[in-house]
């Protein structure tokens, strides 16, 4: 039985949708920036640890509640703006 942070799954699921929005079309999506966005987001959110058995139940029941989806979205947008303002990647120019 494994213990994992369910927030990671929510972040993984929501990030592509947010980056798809018109506002974030210019966001760099290199591995470094994506990982930075995820790390900053997860640091700003309370972790929600579950066992993998619970995880299976949760995905059957239908994901997470709406409030945590909104919280994660807000945290993701803050993280995107932070990374956008000071990207960690090497600029090849
Ligand atoms: Zn980048």
Six-digit token string for 53: 């058995």
SS3 of the chain: helix, strand, coil, percent, to 5: 65, 5, 30
Q: What's the CA-to-centroid distance between 91 and ligand 1, angstroms?
A: 8
Q: Over the stretch 9-64, which tens digit does the pLDDT of each residue have? A: 889 999 999 999 999 988 999 999 999 999 999 999 999 888 877 666 666 545 55
Q: If you measure from the C-alpha of residue 90 to the centroid of ligand 1, how many angstroms do you get, rounded to a whole number? A: 8
Instruction: Compute the distance from residue 93 Cα to the ligand 1 centre, in Å.
Output: 13
Domain boundaries, the chain: 3-85
Span from the CA of 25 to the centroid of ligand 1 (angstroms): 13
Residue pair 39/33 in contact by the 8 Å Cβ criterion? no
pTM for the predicted model, two decimal places: 0.82
């Amino acid at each position: 039985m494994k213990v994992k942070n369910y927030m990671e799954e929510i972040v993984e699921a929501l990030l592509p949708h947010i980056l798809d929005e018109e506002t974030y079309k210019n966001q760099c999506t290199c591995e470094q920036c994506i990982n930075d966005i995820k790390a900053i987001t997860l640091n700003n959110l309370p972790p929600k640890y579950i066992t993998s058995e619970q995880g299976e139940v949760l995905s059957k029941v239908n994901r997470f509640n709406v409030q945590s989806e909104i919280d994660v979205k807000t945290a993701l947008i803050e993280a995107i703006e932070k990374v956008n303002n000071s990207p960690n990647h090497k600029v090849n120019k």
